[in-house]
Amino acid sequence: MEDSSVTAALLCSVVSLSGSPVPPPVSGTGLSELWRLQAAVLRRGRAREMLQRDRRRRQYLRRRRAFLLSSITAILSLISASSSRHVWVRNRTPGHNFWAQAQTFDQDEWKAQFRVSRDTFDYLLDRIGPAIRRRRTNYRAPIEPRRRLAITLWWLARSGEYRSIAGLFGVGIATVCVIVRQVTWAIVERLYRRVVSLAGGWTPPWRPSGTAATRSAPAPSAALTSPSPPPGTTQTTTSTGGGGTRWCCRPWSTTTPGNICFTDVYAGWPGGTSSAAVLSSSDLYLKAEDRPDGYLFPRQNSVVCDGVEIPVHLIGDASFPLKPWLMKSYPPEQQRQSAERRRFSSSLAAARCVVHAAFTRLRGRWRCLLKKSDVDVSVMPRVVAACCVLHNVCQSRRDAFLPEWDADISPPANGLRQPHAETHAGDTYCTAEVIRDTLAHNMTTILQY
């Protein structure tokens, strides 16, 4: 009896798998259990099939919806390309703003407004134009690179409010802020390596802490003549306003009368920081101190006098430390000890007068360095570097500095005071002292080289 029941159950399973209807078993507990198991398997199979069918249906609906949305977007873009959309752009009257009138300026009016000649403006536009050009879209025409550069030069020359500049040039207020950042970035990235250079073959990439490039250095004796400021290298400091805080610009300037240019820019420290502390953190200092011989410039340009090697060096004021590559005057109490030391100190002071002229032109031409600026503090070092680059471009192209721009003659009402330079008191007797004493004692002989 049991064998027949099992046989019947197997037959029912085979028939059920083939798809033929089979009546439920009427006898045998084993046959009933097998029937229930087979029915459960069938139900699970149908459930899986329904889930897969629902999944395929959802995928089809998503694809159809995506196709419809893309088709609608394409149709709307074609429609918007042939019609004006006032939601995206504000119509401005180009004939009633300052920029439209500037196209008719003569050479003198153009230079008075933008602080550079038309030739220098075109030179800058040719160099950075590709970097500040924006792509045309279906929504609006981009602001042309020429107007972008003019907006930035106007802001650097006056540091006016964004609202007033927006009205002058027919752009939005936020657009002025964006353009100033983009163009100053392009000026630094495209022109810094070309026009800011320091002797010694050192060309690291620019960053807010400052860099330098390559150029042959003048002889050290060239910085020791008096009374007119001759060629040489000197160092000084100025300050700018950034976000309501006083920040420093630390450039090094060549003292060539016909080419008063900055050779290294180090910006970003608060104005209250001492000059020695800022110098010690600069790349220039690290480059000189990391060399085994402690020299900044190539030694083949050095002069040997009385058995002492006198290298090419920078000239600093009393706030900087005395180094073999950084020379400064004697302290007042030591100058009174001999006439040689007084003559040496006065010669260095005469050479440093050219640095004062360089900073006078920098601050007078780009007066954003004399005012508190609304830009973010992190952007201000790049603005300082851009002003130094533009200063070098103007000097190299002989773009004259107008007397009425002199900041010392006509200081702005809200101008910033320069940080007080404290005398560096950490100098000790070392190789630099020997070099300075040799220079003071044999200055007339060294000048013959």
The DSSP code sequence of 388-435 is HHHHHHHHHTT-PPPGGG-TTTS--TTPPPPPPPPPP----SSHHHHH
Strands 326-327 and 314-315: parallel
- 163 and 55 in one domain? no
User: Residue written as tokens 């419809």?
Assistant: 68
Q: Is the dihedral of CA 427, 433, 439, 442 positive or negative?
A: positive
- 419 and 298 in one domain? yes
Residue 147: its pLDDT value, please?
Answer: 93
Residue 235: its pLDDT value, please?
Answer: 35
**Cβ(217)–Cβ(199) under 8 Å?**
yes
Last residue of a domain, one of 81, 106, 133: 81
- 287 and 226 in one domain? yes
Is 355 within a domain? yes
Burial bucket for residue 92 (CB in 10 Å: 0-12, 13-18, 19+): middle
- What is the separation of C-alpha 15 from the centre of its chain, rounded to a whole number of angstroms? 82
Bridge partners of 304?
Answer: 309
- 285 and 215 in one domain? yes
Distance from C-alpha of 249 to C-alpha of 266, rounded to nearest angstrom: 6
- 166 and 117 in one domain? yes
Residue 304: its pLDDT value, please?
Answer: 81
Distance from C-alpha of 355 to C-alpha of 254, rounded to nearest angstrom: 7
- 286 and 355 in one domain? yes
Distance from C-alpha of 142 to C-alpha of 77, rounded to nearest angstrom: 18
Q: Which domain holds residue 128?
A: 94-188
Residue 125: its pLDDT value, please?
Answer: 95
Q: How far is CA 427 from CA 71, 168, 281, 319, 342, in A?
A: 77, 54, 18, 11, 19
Segments in the chain below pLDDT 50: 1-4, 7, 11, 14-15, 17-18, 20, 22, 25-26, 95, 200-249, 253-257
Residue 34: its pLDDT value, please?
Answer: 83
> What is the C-alpha radius of gyration for the chain, rounded to an integer number of angstroms?
38
In 3D, which of 121, 169, 164 has the Cα closest to residue 143?
A: 169
Is 105 within a domain? yes
- 353 and 416 in one domain? yes
**Cβ(186)–Cβ(132) under 8 Å?**
yes
Is 86 within a domain? no
- 149 and 7 in one domain? no
Is 87 within a domain? no
How many C-beta atoms surround the C-beta of residue 402 within 10 A? Answer: 12
Is 393 within a domain? yes
**Token couple for 238:** 């100025």
- 252 and 376 in one domain? yes
Residue 93: its pLDDT value, please?
Answer: 57
**Cβ(221)–Cβ(348) under 8 Å?**
no
Distance from C-alpha of 193 to C-alpha of 205, rounded to nearest angstrom: 8
Is 88 within a domain? no
In 3D, which of 152, 143, 162, 160 has the Cα closest to residue 183?
A: 152
**Cβ(424)–Cβ(276) under 8 Å?**
yes
- 160 and 288 in one domain? no
In 3D, which of 43, 14, 13 has the Cα closest to residue 31?
A: 13
Last residue of a domain, one of 21, 48, 81: 81
Is 89 within a domain? no
Q: How far is CA 240 from CA 200, 284, 370, 377, 439, in A?
A: 29, 21, 6, 11, 36
Q: What are phi and psi of 245, to 5 degrees?
A: -115, 145
Is 301 within a domain? yes
In 3D, which of 269, 440, 227 has the Cα closest to residue 354?
A: 227
**Token couple for 102:** 């500037």
Residues 6+ apart with CB under 8 A from 246: 239, 240, 270, 271, 272, 416, 419
User: Residue written as tokens 């550069």?
Assistant: 149
Question: Number of folded domains in the chain?
Answer: 3
Strands 245-254 and 262-270: antiparallel
**Token couple for 129:** 């134009």
**Cβ(340)–Cβ(440) under 8 Å?**
yes
- 368 and 271 in one domain? yes
- 72 and 9 in one domain? yes
Last residue of a domain, one of 168, 188, 208: 188
Distance from C-alpha of 107 to C-alpha of 118, rounded to nearest angstrom: 7
